[in-house]
């Protein structure tokens, strides 16, 4: 398989932090797909300036805010159309430890059919409510996949193999907002994509912008788990057969 990786960075009003993120990513010499998810004028101006001054940047502009998932999928479509084989998703707000990029890309090059998934290693900056809330999702994901293959389904630092991911997003209407990160992993695993977990440091910068809407996004995620649970029941024979084969 031709290994042609890139970065995908969904951006929504991250004008204060996206420049530093792009500067760090540009050191790796790979295409950077910045997806403007309907940002306000001040961030849109920053993105225009980055696109004009950094040759590696490809600016994908959505006409209105559609959510993180919608932005990531727009970036994937653009990258895949340009011939990219893999995309490392990176948040624009400075949460992710970009020093881990070489290790994640090396893992993707060594196992190009796999999805390399970040497993967060938090420091004291993590909000306790967000931390505890993740455990409920972990349990549901283990039930929905009948496995512990996905160690963390909510970390946005991950390398996607674009061909199977593009097929999925063309064939299934996935969650457009914070539910996307969970759903895309579960459904790719259902389709036989192998998950490789790698630890990565995640911080919550002081004054950072979070677009997680507690009530709305938790409701979306709850509804998502309901749909995935019944989807698991439909796929139960396949999942059990696959599990037996792996341990046979």
Query: So what's the pLDDT on residue 205?
Result: 62
Query: So what's the pLDDT on residue 190?
Result: 96
Contact predicate 200/193, CB 8 Å: no
Q: Which residue ranges of the chain lie beneath pLDDT 70?
A: 1, 124-133, 205-215, 217, 247-248
Contact predicate 9/91, CB 8 Å: yes
Structure tokens given for 201: 């440091």
Nearest to 34 by CA among 69, 70, 75: 75
Q: What residues contact residue 232 under an 8 Å CB cut-off, 6+ apart?
A: 143, 144, 145, 146, 239
Contact predicate 22/48, CB 8 Å: no
pTM listed for this prediction: 0.89
Query: Taking all residues of the chain, what is their mean pLDDT, rounded to a whole number?
Result: 90
Q: Which top CATH class is 5-246?
A: alpha beta
Query: So what's the pLDDT on residue 193?
Result: 97
List the 57-62 sheet strands across, edge first.
57-62, 32-37, 5-11, 86-89, 158-161, 115-122, 195-202
End-to-end CA distance of the chain: 29
Share of the chain above pLDDT 90, in %: 74
Q: Cα separation of 1 and 119, whole Å?
A: 26
Rg of the chain taking only CA atoms, in angstroms: 17
Share of the chain above pLDDT 70, in %: 90
């Amino acid at each position: 398989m031709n290994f042609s990786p890139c970065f995908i960075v969904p951006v929504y009003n991250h004008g204060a932090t996206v420049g530093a993120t792009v500067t760090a990513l540009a050191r790796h010499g790979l295409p950077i797909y910045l997806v403007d998810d309907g940002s306000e004028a001040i961030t849109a101006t920053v993105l225009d300036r980055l696109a004009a001054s950094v040759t590696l940047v490809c600016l994908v502009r959505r006409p209105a805010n559609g959510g993180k998932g919608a932005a990531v999928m727009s970036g994937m479509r653009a990258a895949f159309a340009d011939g990219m084989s893999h995309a490392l998703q990176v948040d624009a707000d400075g949460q992710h430890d970009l020093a881990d990029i070489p290790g994640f890309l090396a893992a993707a090059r060594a196992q190009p059919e796999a999805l390399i998934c970040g497993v967060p290693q938090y420091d004291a900056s993590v909000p306790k409510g967000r931390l505890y809330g993740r455990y409920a999702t972990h349990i549901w994901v283990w039930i929905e996949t009948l496995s512990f293959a996905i160690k963390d389904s909510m970390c946005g630092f991950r390398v996607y193999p674009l061909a199977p991911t593009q097929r999925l997003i063309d064939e299934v209407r996935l969650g457009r907002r914070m539910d996307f990160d969970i759903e895309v992993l579960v459904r790719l695993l259902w389709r036989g994509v192998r998950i490789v977990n790698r630890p990565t440091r995640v911080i919550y910068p002081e004054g950072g912008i979070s677009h997680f809407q507690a009530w709305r996004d938790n409701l979306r995620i709850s509804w998502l788990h309901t749909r995935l649970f019944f989807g698991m029941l439909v796929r139960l024979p396949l999942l059990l057969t696959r599990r037996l084969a792996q341990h046979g």
